[in-house]
Amino acid sequence: MKKLALSFSVIIVFTFYTLLYQKNGAANAVTIAPPASLALATPATPVATTASSPPSPPPPPANKPTKAATPTPTPAQNKSANTTPSSNTTPSAPATAPTPPSNNSPYRDGTFTGASADAYYGNVKVAATIQNGRLTDVQFLDHPGGRATSDYINSQAMPYLIQEAIQAQSANIDGVSGATDTSLAFVQSLSSALTQAKK
Partner 1 sequence: MKDSRLVMGMPITVEIVDRQALPSDIDDIFDYFHYVDELFSTYKEDSEISRLNRGELSLGSASRDVQIIFALAEQTKQATQGYFDIWHGDHYDPSGLVKGWAIFKANQLLAQKGFRNFRVDAGGDMHLSGANSHGVEWRIGIRNPLHPDQIVKVVKLKNCGIATSGTYLRGQHIYDPHQRQKELSDIVSLTVIGPNVYEADRFATAAFAMGGEGISFIEHLSGFEGYQIDGHGRATLTSGFNNYVSHQ
The smaller minimum CB distance to partner 1, of residues 113 and 192, is found at 192
188: Cβ contacts below 8 Å, ≥ 6 apart: 114, 115, 117, 124
What are the φ/ψ torsions at residue 23 (nearest 5 degrees)? -60, -45
Site for partner 1 in 111-150 (CB under 8 A): 118-122, 124, 140, 143-145, 148-149
Four-point Cα dihedral 18, 19, 22, 26, nearest 10:
-170
> Whose Cβ is closer to partner 1: residue 33's or residue 197's?
33
56 or 104, CB closer to partner 1?
56
Q: How far apart (Å, rounded) are the C-alpha atoms in residues 140 and 162?
A: 33
**Pick 70 or 104: Cβ nearer partner 1:** 70
Looking at residue 45, its amino acid is: T
Supply the minimum distance, in Å, between the C-beta of residue 105 and partner 1. 27
- The count of residues interacting with partner 1 (CB under 8 A) is 80
Instruction: For the segment 25-84, give every residue that binds partner 1 (CB under 8 A).
Output: 32-33, 36, 39-40, 43-44, 49-50, 53, 55-61, 64-65, 67-72, 74-77, 79-81, 83-84
Count the Cβ atoms, other than its own, within 10 Å of residue 61. 8
Whole-number Å distance between alpha carbons of 64 and 44 = 29
Q: Which of 75, 92, 93 is nearest to 83 (CA)?
A: 92
Q: Which of residues 149-188 bind partner 1 (CB under 8 A)?
A: 149, 151-154, 158, 160-169, 171-184, 186, 188
Footprint of partner 1 on 8-27 (CB under 8 A) = none
